[in-house]
């Protein structure tokens, strides 16, 4: 049986308690391996190793030397592409075409984008005259923040982890990563790559386990941690922010969403249908930026609903490496139960089920997997819980609107503010809505198109802070001012 261990100070280790839990494949519920849950002793050891590494060979590297080492990670991940692909797919069940085009290549590229950033960023400098007639020059210096705790979700496990480990390490910090309990494999495997390219022990550590009363809360509450960066649900972000308040540790929070797409009658119809299809169903709807509310201008409402239904009908569920597979399962039984509870609630609340609403009929060998049907609803009031709460499944509610003002009001009527996408040929209207809809990320006639130099993050209860390009440096470095008098 495969053992999924913790990675502490450059070595794979179990735990003092002997506590393990089963990791099962969401495609067919088969057992992948046993995960060794880190307790307080392992979290203490990981944080101590990370702190010691700050003052060891890692801390003495120049920026250029450090970046060369991290660029080596990209080559080594690509060299072991199939190992990462197999591990990610076994943990998540996602289709191979998705993981091989997004998860693994972007997971590797995240190191390169931030080594390029840190090598090319400048700091400000000012000169002034002093009262005694001398001169003083101030300049900024970016120093590492210290030991960074990285708490990750399960939807894009490697990609979202390196999105934080990449800039953290490029800036000279050391990290302790707590992957989601549902997806421990690729973060753990990355330890082998770190050792292979010569990243010193203690720079990158992984503690496996759960959140509350487990590795997650032990790590975020640890006094040896200098900053906590988190991606996950808003309610978990609240708990993490409270934990980080002790010791005044900064947080970077990328949280949940209930993202709206706004489709005007003058849009390029095929582009809008194709792009909304992706934004609702890709990764089985388990994308933080995904669309769960679609607002369509009334003259094209019926045509749009019918076209999206046709697309949903083509979403064939199946095994990850089957070339016909268009959609995978949800990540776990726990998540399947949650999504299905919303499917039931939608019916109770009086939705018209345009498509789906249940579990697809699967062959016997896949029946135990975490499958749900792609689902489209109409006819609910904006107060319905499936219109207000984040479901994180392959589903959306479609609502008609008559005026631009009404569309903006409905899009903004949420506690969340992560992302939106607007479909129209009227560029004036698009740019108006881009400022009026309260989000961190706005796409016009597109979705999920990313330039990694740009800021990424949510407003309202979708997060605090921006990461990406130079914006990541605000969190992963301390900006110190030096003044010289001469
Ligand atoms: P989650 O909040 O349940 O768990 C995320 C991580 O936090 C896991 O590793 C978990 O073990 C840990 N955790 C849970 N409780 C904790 C605690 N008290 N202290 C410390 N750690 C704790 O989220 P999830 O279900 O894994 O992921 C789905 C959520 O992530 C969705 O809400 C989605 O919108 C969000 N998400 C946001 C972004 C973004 O960029 N804004 C990206 C991806 C996912």
For ligand 1, atom 28, the nearest C-alpha belongs to 232
Could you tell me if 189 and 338 lie in one domain? no
Q: Catalytic pick from 254, 282, 297, 390? A: 254
Could you tell me if 250 and 135 lie in one domain? yes
Q: What spacing in Å lies between the alpha carbon of 232 and ligand 1's midpoint?
A: 2
Closest-lying ligand 1 atom to the alpha carbon of residue 232: 30
pLDDT at 344: 98
Closest-lying ligand 1 atom to the alpha carbon of residue 237: 2
pLDDT single digits (tens) 92-128: 999 999 999 999 999 999 999 999 999 999 999 999 9
pLDDT at 131: 97
pLDDT at 147: 98
Could you tell me if 306 and 281 lie in one domain? yes
Could you tell me if 245 and 269 lie in one domain? no
Closest-lying ligand 1 atom to the alpha carbon of residue 418: 41
The complex's ipTM works out to 0.96
pLDDT (tens place) for every residue of the chain, 486 residues total: 999 999 999 999 999 999 999 999 999 999 999 999 999 999 999 999 999 999 999 999 999 999 999 999 999 999 999 999 999 999 999 999 999 999 999 999 999 999 999 999 999 999 999 999 999 999 999 999 999 999 999 999 999 999 999 999 999 999 999 999 999 999 999 999 999 999 999 999 999 999 999 999 999 999 999 999 999 999 999 999 999 999 999 999 999 999 999 999 999 999 999 999 999 999 999 999 999 999 999 999 999 999 999 999 999 999 999 999 999 999 999 999 999 999 999 999 999 999 999 999 999 999 999 999 999 999 999 999 999 999 999 999 999 999 999 999 999 999 999 999 999 999 999 999 999 999 999 999 999 999 999 999 999 999 999 999 999 999 999 999 999 999
Could you tell me if 431 and 468 lie in one domain? no
Which H, E and C letters describe the chain, residue by residue? CCEECEEECCEEECCCCCCEEEEECCCCCCEEEEEECCCHHHHHHHHHHHHHHHCCHHHHCCHHHHHHHHHHHHHHHHHCHHHHHHHHHHHHCCCHHHHHHHHHHHHHHHHHHHHHHHHHCCCCEEEEECCCCCEEEEEEEEEECCEEEEECCCCCHHHHHHHHHHHHHHCCCEEEEECCCCCCHHHHHHHHHHHHHCCCCCCEEECCCCCCCCHHHHHHCCCCCCEEEEECCHHHHHHHHHHHHCCCCCEEEECCCCEEEEECCCCCHHHHHHHHHHHHHHHHHCCCCCEEEEEEEHHHHHHHHHHHHHHHHCCCECCCCCCCCCECCCCCHHHHHHHHHHHHHHHHCCCEEEECCCCCCCCHHHCCCCCCCCEEEECCCCCCHHHHCCCCCCEEEEEEECCHHHHHHHHHCCCEECEEEEECCCHHHHHHHHHHCCCCEEEECCCCCCCCCCCECCEECCEECCECCCHHHHHHEEEEEEEEEC
- 254 part of the active site: yes
Domain-embedded: residue 457 = no
pLDDT at 114: 97
Domain-embedded: residue 93 = yes
Could you tell me if 358 and 428 lie in one domain? yes
Could you tell me if 94 and 241 lie in one domain? yes
pLDDT single digits (tens) 124-150: 999 999 999 999 999 999 999 999 999
pLDDT at 83: 98
232, 242, 287, 460: residue to mutate for ligand 1 pocket, most atoms within 8 A of CB: 232
pLDDT at 209: 98
Domain-embedded: residue 456 = no
Could you tell me if 192 and 237 lie in one domain? yes
Q: What spacing in Å lies between the alpha carbon of 180 and ligand 1's midpoint?
A: 8
Q: What spacing in Å lies between the alpha carbon of 250 and ligand 1's midpoint?
A: 18
Q: What is the CATH number of the domain that holds 233?
A: 3.40.605.10
Closest-lying ligand 1 atom to the alpha carbon of residue 240: 19
Q: What is the CATH number of the domain that holds 441?
A: 3.40.309.10
Could you tell me if 60 and 37 lie in one domain? yes
Domain-embedded: residue 408 = yes
Domain-embedded: residue 215 = yes
How many domains are contained in the chain?
Answer: 2
Domain-embedded: residue 336 = yes
Residue range(s) defining the domain that contains residue 353: 259-451
Domain-embedded: residue 443 = yes
pLDDT at 426: 98
Could you tell me if 44 and 129 lie in one domain? yes
pLDDT at 179: 98
Could you tell me if 146 and 208 lie in one domain? yes
pLDDT at 432: 98
Could you tell me if 350 and 440 lie in one domain? yes
For ligand 1, atom 39, the nearest C-alpha belongs to 254
pLDDT at 385: 97
Domain-embedded: residue 182 = yes
């Amino acid at each position: 049986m495969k053992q999924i261990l913790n990675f502490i100070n450059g070595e794979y280790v179990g735990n003092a308690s002997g506590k393990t839990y089963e990791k099962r494949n969401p495609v067919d519920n088969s057992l992948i391996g046993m995960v060794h849950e880190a307790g307080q002793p392992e979290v203490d050891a990981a944080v101590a190793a990370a702190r010691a590494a700050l003052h060891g060979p890692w801390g003495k590297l120049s920026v250029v030397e450090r970046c060369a080492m991290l660029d080596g990670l990209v080559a080594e991940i690509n060299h072991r592409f199939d190992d990462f692909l197999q591990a990610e797919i076994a943990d998540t069940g996602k289709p191979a075409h998705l993981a091989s085009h997004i998860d693994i290549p972007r997971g590797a590229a995240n190191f390169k984008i931030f080594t390029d950033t840190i090598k090319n960023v400048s700091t400000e400098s000012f000169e002034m005259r002093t009262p005694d007639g001398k001169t003083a020059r101030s300049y900024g210096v970016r120093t590492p923040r210290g030991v960074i705790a990285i708490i990750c979700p399960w939807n894009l496990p490697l990609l979202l982890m390196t999105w934080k480990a990449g800039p953290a390490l490029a800036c000279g910090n050391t990290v302790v990563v707590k992957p989601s309990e549902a997806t421990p494999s690729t973060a753990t495997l990355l330890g082998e790559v770190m050792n292979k390219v010569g990243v010193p022990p203690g720079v990158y550590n992984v503690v496996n386990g759960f959140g509350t009363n487990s590795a997650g809360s032990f790590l975020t509450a640890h006094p040896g941690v200098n900053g906590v960066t988190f991606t996950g649900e808003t309610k978990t972000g609240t708990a993490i922010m409270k934990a980080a308040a002790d010791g005044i540790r900064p947080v970077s929070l990328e949280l949940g969403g209930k993202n709206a797409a706004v489709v005007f009658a003058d849009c390029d119809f095929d582009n809008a249908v194709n792009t909304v299809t992706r934004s609702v169903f890709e990764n089985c709807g388990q994308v933080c930026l995904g669309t769960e509310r679609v607002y369509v201008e009334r003259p094209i409402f019926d045509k749009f609903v019918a076209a999206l239904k046709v697309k949903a009908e083509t979403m064939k569920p199946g095994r990850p490496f089957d070339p016909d597979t268009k959609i995978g399962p949800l990540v776990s039984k726990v998540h399947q139960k949650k999504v299905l509870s919303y499917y039931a609630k939608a019916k109770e609340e009086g939705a018209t089920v345009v498509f789906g609403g249940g579990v697809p009929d699967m062959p016997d060998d896949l029946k135990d997997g975490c499958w749900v049907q792609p689902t489209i609803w109409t006819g609910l009031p904006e107060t319905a819980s499936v219109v207000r709460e984040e479901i994180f499944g392959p589903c959306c509610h479609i609502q008609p609107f008559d005026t631009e003002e009404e569309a903006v009001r409905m899009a903004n009527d949420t506690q969340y503010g992560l992302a939106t996408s607007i479909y129209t040929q009227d560029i004036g209207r698009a740019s108006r809505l881009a400022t009026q809809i309260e989000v961190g990320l706005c796409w016009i006639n597109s979705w999920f198109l990313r330039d990694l130099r740009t800021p990424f993050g949510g407003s309202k209860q979708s997060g605090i802070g921006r990461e990406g390009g130079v914006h990541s440096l605000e969190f992963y470095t301390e900006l110190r001012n030096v003044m010289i008098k001469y």
